[in-house]
């Protein structure tokens, strides 16, 4: 399993060239450091991968922001997923069946456990398809 290569292959269209996984959460969100020491957040359920901090100092400030911390840990959503699906096996994470950008709900009936690389790959493919489309546009999956 090479998560960094999966990110490069699936999300490289965003400009990310990751060199390190800084941290990950239970829904396969990743904080990645790139070759220029910028920090990116890959958020599969909302289908984005973007710079969240331009330096280590900015990243250290970000992780003290309570709104970011709450969004990152997703405690109520993770608790619902664990209650409905149990604990994921090694290399697996919780995922939305229908992504948030496609009006998928953050409820247990729209959650599954999947391999982290599959989550990263499929969200990257979807992100590339919907990039730049207006809200309500039709997408063939």
pLDDT in tens, 54-92: 999 999 999 999 999 999 999 999 999 999 999 999 999
Residue 123 lies inside a defined structural domain of this protein: yes
The reported pLDDT for the residue numbered 1 is: 60
- Counted domains in the chain: 1
141 is a domain residue: no
Residue 137 lies in a domain: no
Task: Tell me whether residue 138 is in a domain.
Answer: no
Domain annotation covers residue 62: yes
d(CA 55, CA 57): 5
User: Considering just the CA atoms, what is the radius of gyration of the chain in Å?
Assistant: 15
**Distance (Å) of CA 2 to CA 20, 23, 110, 121:** 11, 15, 27, 12
Low-confidence ranges of the chain (pLDDT < 50): none
pTM, rounded to two decimals: 0.93
> Which pLDDT score, from 0 to 100, does residue 140 have?
65
Residue 21 lies in a domain: yes
> Can you give the residue range of the structural domain that contains 41?
3-130
């Amino acid at each position: 399993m090479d998560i960094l290569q999966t990110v490069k292959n699936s999300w490289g269209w965003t400009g990310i060239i990751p060199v390190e996984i800084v941290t990950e959460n239970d829904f396969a969100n990743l904080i990645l450091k790139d070759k220029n020491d910028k920090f990116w957040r890959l958020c599969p359920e909302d289908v984005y991968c973007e710079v969240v901090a331009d330096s280590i100092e900015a990243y250290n400030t970000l992780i003290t922001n309570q709104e970011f911390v709450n969004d990152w840990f997703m405690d109520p959503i993770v608790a619902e997923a664990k209650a409905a699906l149990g604990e994921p096996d090694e290399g697996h994470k919780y995922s939305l069946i229908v992504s948030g950008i496609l009006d998928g709900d953050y409820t247990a009936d729209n959650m599954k456990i999947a391999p982290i690389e599959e989550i990263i790959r499929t969200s990257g493919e979807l992100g590339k398809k919907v990039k730049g489309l207006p809200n309500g546009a039709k997408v063939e999956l």
